[in-house]
Structure 1
Amino acid sequence: MTHGWFMGTARPRVLAHRGLLTAEDVAHGVVENSFAAVAAAHAAGAEYIESDCHLTVDGTVVLFHDDDLSRVADDPRKVADVTLGELESLLADRGGLITLEQALDSFPRTRFNLDVKAKDAAPEVGRIVAPHADRVLLTSFSDLRRRTALAAAESAAPGMRPATSAGSATIGRVLGALASHSSRLVARALASVDALQVPERYRSLRIVTPRLIAAAHRQNVEVHVWTVNDPRDMRRLVSMGVDGLVTDRADIALEVLQGGNPPPPTP
């Protein structure tokens, strides 16, 4: 049965990577994964927001990508070492902090693709998303973190399961199964996931191929490619049959897929 995260939305899917930042936003100091960035993606028409989850020292799940604050807030401390109040203050003039609960409550029709970045965040992420399981996909590079968050969600709301995409180990098993030409092993590797979210290439290895896409589709698993910002790449990947694009410029992707004239990329 198809999970609710996939139902009733446009395809190919456009996943707004950490929200949306235009050149004007950047000039005004707005940062990724901020309330303003999520709101901008929503205003542009993005049905899906891709974001990341960390845990503050006082136990609040926030949308934040890096382990520390140096790149986004010019502060060397780790997210896990600051309080919610301290993080709110740091991001007040950078688009505003947004917690996971605020994101789900403030954008009730938006689907969220959530990457669990921190081990300690996984149980709380699962608990928070449980009532919203039909519009949440949980993922992580770590299959263990991903499964921990899924288990917490199912424990908090039995019978309601968020969608999920493969972690690195599962993706490795899929690629190995393809290399061995074993349909049985491919099916086994994909049995517990709803999507493969992968880069087109990893170093010298091409990951996204027609063969991978076809194998995934035979198991009713979608293929989403990250991070795709060039309109030519968007068109090429969609023509290959990928089901979704994770992009920093959801506004461009939506225009491209609707056949319009995309705005210029951010310099």
Structure 2
Amino acid sequence: MNETPAARHPYLSPDAPRVLAHRGLVTPDAAEQGVAENSFAAVAAAHAAGAAYVESDCHVTADGEVVLFHDDDLRRVAGDPRAIADVRLHELEDLMSERGGLITLAQALDAFPDVRFNLDVKAAAAADGVGRLVAPHADRVLVTSFSDERRLAALAAAAAAGAARRPATSPGSATVARLVAARALRQSRRVRALFEGLDALQVPERQGPLRVVTRGLVHDAHAAGVEVHVWTVNAEDDMARLLDMGVDGLVTDRAEVALSLVNDRGTGTV
């Protein structure tokens, strides 16, 4: 990174590379026991494995509670067709009781005070609640979303709730697309402008046939003081190759593998 540590958002301290446990950590043994992603048990397992960062997703229940949950309904996780937005908190707690336990955003921030959370705002209705809840924890939270509108709404809600600083942030898919296009057209001024206000660029290595992560992209991001985090990287060879390319973070379902790799390489911190 070309930026001095003092100028970087506290979320990104200490130095990279970073392992971001994707939806917590669910090992094969835990999965056999019925533990679900984004559950209390999954977050606890990531923390126990030594992951300093947990990536998760935010929806809001019918009674207004922000919960860590990826899908907008319960079909895949619990075989229930109802939408998260139509289920009350106590119902969701019952459904998740044998799947590792439901965890709300408030509980996650309280129960794991030394974990840094990477939060994807999945629903427009969740943006205000996410912002209010993370406001006192802005130093250890990154807010992102596929929708820049939802992301910016959550950041605005954090500011309105009195956050001492804004949470760290990574752009939505529209901004990423504009950035990739500007780089392809060699519009360096436009590239620099698109990086403004960002702390990390969280992207897949490829989007269909399009290669997103390149050495050039990593160079441009670093020149702007922005980190590059790649999702979702589960093969150890891919992890090593991307780290050799200079990426700063790996979002992975196999946090235990990535942590071991980073520690064995003796570079940075997890």
Bucket of the pairwise TM-score, normalised by the shorter protein: over 0.9
Aligned to 2:38: 33
Matches of 2:116 and 2:246 in 1, distance apart? 22
Is residue 2:187 matched to residue 1:185? no
Is residue 2:130 matched to residue 1:147? no
Aligned to 2:16: 11
Letter of the 1:142 partner, please give it. Answer: S
Aligned to 1:263: none
Unmatched 5+ stretches in structure 2: 1-6, 266-270
Aligned with 2:264: secondary structure? coil
Aligned to 2:132: 127
Aligned with 1:16: secondary structure? strand
Report the TM-score, using the length of structure 1 for normalisation: 0.96
Match of 2:261 among 256, 260, 263: 256
Matches of 2:261 and 2:239 in 1, distance apart? 8
Report the TM-score, using the length of structure 2 for normalisation: 0.95
Is residue 2:92 matched to residue 1:87? yes
RMSD over aligned Cα atoms: 0.9
**1:11: how far off?**
2.0
Letter of the 1:192 partner, please give it. Answer: G
Matches of 1:210 and 1:123 in 2, distance apart? 36
Letter of the 1:230 partner, please give it. Answer: A
Aligned to 2:236: 231
Aligned pairs (5 A) from 1:151-162: 151-162=156-167
Aligned to 1:170: 175
Aligned to 1:57: 62
Q: Is the 8 A contact 2:136 2:163 kept in 1?
A: no
Q: Is the 8 A contact 2:25 2:37 kept in 1?
A: yes
Percent of pairs identical after alignment?
63
**1:158: how far off?**
4.6
Letter of the 1:14 partner, please give it. Answer: V
Match of 2:207 among 180, 202, 206: 202
Letter of the 2:68 partner, please give it. Answer: L
Q: Residues 10-35 of structure 1: CA distance to partner in whole angstroms, max 9, x if unpaired?
A: 52100000000111101100000000
Structure 1 stretches of 4+ with a deviation exceeding 2 A read none
Matches of 1:207 and 1:130 in 2, distance apart? 32
Higher relative contact order (CA 8 A, sep 6+): 2
Aligned with 2:118: secondary structure? strand
Match of 1:242 among 240, 247, 260: 247
Q: Residues 60-117 of structure 1: CA distance to partner in whole angstroms, max 9, x if unpaired?
A: 0000000100000110000000000000000000000000000000000100000000
**1:173: how far off?**
1.3
Q: What is the number of equivalent residue pairs in this alignment?
A: 259
**1:149: how far off?**
0.1
